[in-house]
Amino acid sequence: MRCTAVLAAAASLALTSAAAHAQQLMITDWTTDRVMLFSETDGSIVNLDFILDGAGVGYDWQSPRDAIQVGNEIWVGDQLADSITRFTLAGVFIANITGPIDNVRGMCFANNKVNVSNSDAGHGAPGDAIVVFNLDGTIETNVAVPDPFDVIEYNGQLLISDIAGDNIGRYDYGLNFLGLFHDSDGVSGIDFPQQLNIRRSNGNLLAAGFTAPSGIYEYGPNGVQVGTLIPVTNTRGVYELTNGNLIYTNNTGVHVYDIAAATSTLIHATANAQFINRLAPVTVVCRADVGVTGGEAGQDGQLDNNDFIAFINYFFELDPIADMGITGGEPGADGAWDNNDFIAFINHFFAGC
């Protein structure tokens, strides 16, 4: 009876979670130190208080710049606090990474690593570089690049915006320089390129130009500018909505630019809205199916001893996959790894798939 109840609760939780995060965008806000949610369809407000500042409890934000999805986690980089905070997809705090990084800007999840734009050299940080993190929050390496402000995966490479040269560079996954994607003079072309994003409708690159000639820029796969600049003052973030319009941020708030009408509408007023990234639901078919032969991590459609071994390994690694239970062993994630997770896992296991 208990297993049946837990299975029903788990199914309900999965549906609720999927509905909560389907087609949504995360936008960071320095004014109130939070992560906001907007509709990916039309840019309307979903939840202005999705993740709030910890105010010293686990983390203390000063200027959250970028929030990205890293598998089944959310990572939020803070430019002035020199930190990256990890959360579950429900916004539950997991851990805070504090160094050695300094002046953290844009980030991206690519090739199973998290690439972080770093600028300054405090706390032992490397100065102008991309700092590469493993998924457990440890640093794998750092590679010097010109004054990076954002990094994005694009057509099997990494593109990095350089605010010193006003250019966008091309790199392989090992951060070896391959050449310039776009060479700007910073006068007639983009100046101070901030966020980079892919325009889903045609695969082109969108870039937010912060200083004059400020606005939204678009480049084809060969790096050549497409069309004319969409003039926007102090552009920071940009993203194409599923309806084909553009949502962007600047020093007055979050706006939607209507492509057909060539007009902008203010969606939310704030002086410090920053970067924009998608939050996608992660569908888990069977919560207890976490192990394959030898107890290695993976899913094989079977529930057996391998799943127990893999779960225990996940548990002691403090992996979010093992964060399955809340008070009383009910299904859910609470950012703690304790007996509740074992109870939830066992109930999932005996409920079957």
- Tens of pLDDT, residues 62-88: 999 999 999 889 999 999 999 999 998
What is the sign of the dihedral through the CA atoms of 155, 201, 244 and 48? negative
Tell me the pLDDT band of 283, cut-offs 50, 70 and 90.
low
pLDDT at 285: 59
Q: Which residue has the tokens 């480049």?
A: 219
Mind listing the pLDDT tens digit for each residue in 303-348? Answer: 999 999 999 999 998 887 888 888 888 887 777 788 999 999 999 8
Q: Are 215 and 235 in contact (CB under 8 A)?
A: yes
CA dihedral 263, 265, 269, 271 (to 10 degrees): -20
**Coil, helix or strand at residue 253:** strand
Note the pLDDT of residue 92: 87
- Strand 139-144 relative to strand 177-182, pairing: unpaired
Identify the structural domains of the chain with CATH numbers, from first to last. 2-12+282-351 (no CATH), 27-279 (2.120.10.30)
